[in-house]
Structure 1
Amino acid sequence: MIHYHGTPIGGTRQDAARFLMGRHALVSFYRPDDMAAVLECCQSFVMDNGAFSHWRAGKGEIDFDAYVAWTLEYHRHPAFDWCLIPDKIDGTEKENADLVRRWQGLMNKPKGVPVWHLHESLDWLEWLVDRFEWVALGSSGQWATPGTPDWWQRMATAMRVICDDQGRPRCKLHGLRMLDPEVFTRLPLSSADSTNAAVNCGSLSRFGSYKPPTAGQRAEVIAARIEQHNSASIWCGHQQNSLTI
């Protein structure tokens, strides 16, 4: 499993470069501050359309054409893995399907990964799984918070669509905002992301009495604790269902 750490990273730029060295990163169209360091330091990176940040900031939809141009600027870099196809967090299934089909219609485009939002239909999920090598899973609607009992119930329903009778996903899966060991160790994800290290390296309270002195060191500790865990090899529905009780 690939652990993608969301950027930008807190602390000094030297701290950020040191943190990113040899790691995997996610760079957002909304905040591409650390792109130069990512290109030089990371094993690999993915590009995020910034829809979640735009939505949370109340800024509406992203500029589709500007995002495409941004991805084309970097997609030939050897560390580039893929980019998220533009989506709308609180959009209807039709709105998001239209964005996926618009992307498919582009003549010149990098490798794109669609997002299936948990509030969308299982039929749409089936369509995506059948047509794409990778599908990203995005928490949304009444299932906006990963790890809650209701979220696990919805995820179990989705996994029955995605996986074969042996619990093996029929495509590779990326978990958006799922880089929590309590979540990704129970799912057969090929990758996941979060801004945990970037956001919480400034939080002194989570480290108790023995605090690493700099934000960069704290980010290193958070990331190392995450990276020692791997995702599940298969979906074990009977075991996962106990999480919802």
Structure 2
Amino acid sequence: MIHYHGTPVGGTRHDAARLLAGRHALVPFPRQDDMGIVAEACQSFVFDNGAFTVWRQGGQLDVDGYLRWVDDWYRHPGFDWALIPDVIDGDENANDLLLEQWPAHLPGVPVWHLHESLERLQRLASDWRTVAFGSSGQWSSPGTAPWWTRMSAAMDAICDEHGRPLCRLHGLRMLDPAIFSRLPLASADSTNAAVNGGSVKRFGMYVPPTAGQRAAVIADRIEAHNSAPIWQRSGQAEFAL
């Protein structure tokens, strides 16, 4: 699987370069601080439309501005795809309308929110090469018992009898080995390394001296793990207990 590390990275630009060089990155539309480093040093990158920031902090997503940004960058050889604009707690009709407005020439990935119907998930998985999973509603916290129950239902709905999903899956805020190692994800993202590189407490008495080195250690530990090759229906319910 591909491990996308969310930006921007705290600390100096040297810290950012140390973390991002040779890795995969996710760049959010509202915070393009590290775009120069990402474009030069990363193996590949994806764009986040900023809906999570709007959901948490309020405001309104600049859809036209986001489309212009994606159109400026999608020809870069490291560009993988961009998340199609969505409303995290919106209804399905509103999010389907945003999908219809997405330009066909831009590599886009729709988001299925966990509070939405399984029927919509099945439809997206049938129509798109990749679908992103977004935690929302009462299932907004990845890794909790209710979240696992909902994810189990979602995986059962779109995986065949062999546990193979109908399309490639991306886990938003799921770059935690305790999560992605149990799911057949093609990729996942989080800001764990970028945010917690500044935390000395995570390392006990043996602390890498710089924020960049600490972030790189966190990223290395995450990337030592891979996603599950298939979804195993039997036994997955125990994760929700």
TM-score, structure 2 length as denominator? 0.98
The answer on 1:25 being equivalent to 2:25 is: yes
Q: Find the counterpart in structure 2 of residue 9 from structure 1.
A: 9
Deviation string 1:190-218 (CA, Å, 9 cap, x unpaired) is 00000000111111111111111111011
Instruction: State the alpha-carbon separation in 2 of the partners of residues 205 and 19 from structure 1.
Output: 19
Shift in Å at residue 44 of structure 1?
0.4
Structure 1: which amino acid aligns with 2:45?
F
Q: Find the counterpart in structure 1 of residue 76 from structure 2.
A: 77
The answer on 1:189 being equivalent to 2:185 is: yes
Deviation string 1:96-146 (CA, Å, 9 cap, x unpaired) is 11111121xx35x41000000000011111110010000000000000001
Which moves more between the two structures, 222-231 or 89-98? 89-98
Alpha-carbon contact 2:171-2:189 (below 8 Å) kept: yes
Instruction: State the alpha-carbon separation in 1 of the partners of residues 106 and 14 from structure 2.
Output: 30
The answer on 1:164 being equivalent to 2:160 is: yes
Q: Find the counterpart in structure 2 of residue 141 from structure 1.
A: 137
Alpha-carbon contact 1:30-1:54 (below 8 Å) kept: no
Instruction: State the alpha-carbon separation in 2 of the partners of residues 136 and 206 from structure 1.
Output: 29
How many residues of Structure 1 are paired with residues of Structure 2 in the alignment?
Answer: 241
Shift in Å at residue 239 of structure 1?
2.2
Alpha-carbon contact 1:82-1:113 (below 8 Å) kept: yes
Kindly report the root-mean-square deviation, in angstroms, between the aligned alpha carbons of the 2 structures.
0.9
Shift in Å at residue 237 of structure 1?
1.5
TM-score, structure 1 length as denominator? 0.96
Q: Find the counterpart in structure 1 of residue 230 from structure 2.
A: 234
Shift in Å at residue 235 of structure 1?
0.1
Shift in Å at residue 157 of structure 1?
0.5
Instruction: State the alpha-carbon separation in 2 of the partners of residues 239 and 68 from structure 1.
Output: 42
Structure 1: which amino acid aligns with 2:85?
P
Structure 2: which amino acid aligns with 1:178?
M
Instruction: State the alpha-carbon separation in 2 of the partners of residues 237 and 32 from structure 1.
Output: 40
2:138 partner SS: coil
1:237 partner SS: coil
Instruction: State the alpha-carbon separation in 1 of the partners of residues 130 and 199 from structure 2.
Output: 34
2:216 to 208, 216, 220: 220
Unaligned runs of 5+ in 1: none
Deviation string 1:63-99 (CA, Å, 9 cap, x unpaired) is 1111000001110000000000001112111211111
Alpha-carbon contact 2:174-2:188 (below 8 Å) kept: yes
1:202 partner SS: coil
Q: Find the counterpart in structure 2 of residue 152 from structure 1.
A: 148
Alpha-carbon contact 2:5-2:190 (below 8 Å) kept: yes
Instruction: State the alpha-carbon separation in 1 of the partners of residues 55 and 151 from structure 2.
Output: 23
Q: Give structure 1 regions of 4+ aligned residues with deviation exceeding 4 angstroms.
A: none
The answer on 1:48 being equivalent to 2:44 is: no
Instruction: State the alpha-carbon separation in 2 of the partners of residues 75 and 11 from structure 1.
Output: 28
Instruction: State the alpha-carbon separation in 2 of the partners of residues 242 and 69 from structure 1.
Output: 45
Which moves more between the two structures, 131-140 or 232-241? 232-241
Q: Find the counterpart in structure 1 of residue 96 from structure 2.
A: 97
Shift in Å at residue 161 of structure 1?
1.4
Q: Percent same amino acid among aligned pairs?
A: 63
Structure 2: which amino acid aligns with 1:80?
F
Instruction: State the alpha-carbon separation in 2 of the partners of residues 165 and 157 from structure 1.
Output: 14
Deviation string 1:130-182 (CA, Å, 9 cap, x unpaired) is 10000000000000001111101100100111111110011000000000000
Unaligned runs of 5+ in 2: none
